[in-house]
Structure 1
Amino acid sequence: MPERGRIRARGVIERVTIAPASATPSFTVLARLDQDGRIGAGESIRIIWMGQRRVPGVQAGVALRFEGMLSRVAGTPTVYNPRYEIIGRPEEN
């Protein structure tokens, strides 16, 4: 996986974290990149939507295709405010 730059990838959300009401709004997910992704299959990536307390349809188990600028935050690959498309939901399995 590149250290920085624009990426397109897909993965499955493993964990969702919502900032508490007393903090600046943010919605964070940890996703595992899948085999069909172009980069780092099997690696985890953090995706953060700033200013959001929730993102409709985004929950654990959902498969996403996303695109955005990759950076490393505390060693973890991170994408802020990506474009995304939901490509699968848990109830479809």
Structure 2
Amino acid sequence: MDLSGQIVGTSIEPGQFEAAFDDGTGQLTLVWLAPDAIPGIEVGAKVRVRGFRCELDGRPVIHNPRYDLL
């Protein structure tokens, strides 16, 4: 997938950083396996993300997406 949109929420869990992403048609969760926040990924940031979409607990997720800040 290759999507552009906005970060609408973030959270840090042990060993992973999650961001809620909205492209205007719906939301999905971006998950990085990282101990801390990801540079530039914060609420309100406009980003382009690329990666493979899967489902986790019934919600769309992209693990370790590539991203560009817009």
Q: TM-score range by the shorter chain?
A: over 0.9
What do you get for the CA RMSD once the two structures are aligned? 1.0
Q: Which runs of 4+ in 1 moved over 2 A?
A: none
Which structure: greater strand fraction? Answer: 2
Q: TM-score if structure 1 supplies the norm length? A: 0.71
Please name the residue that 1:32 is paired with.
22
In the alignment, does 2:53 pair up with 1:70?
Answer: yes
TM-score of the aligned structures, taking structure 2 as reference length: 0.92
Q: How many percent identity over aligned positions?
A: 23
**Counterpart-to-counterpart distance in 1, 2:6 and 2:55:** 20
CA distance in 2, matches of 1:49, 1:9: 17
Asked if 1:54 corresponds to 2:37, the answer is: yes
Structure 1 or 2, whichever has the larger Rg, is 1
- 2:10 is the alignment partner of 1:12: no
Contiguous gaps of at least 5 residues in structure 2: none
Gaps of 5+ in 1: 1-6, 35-40, 88-93
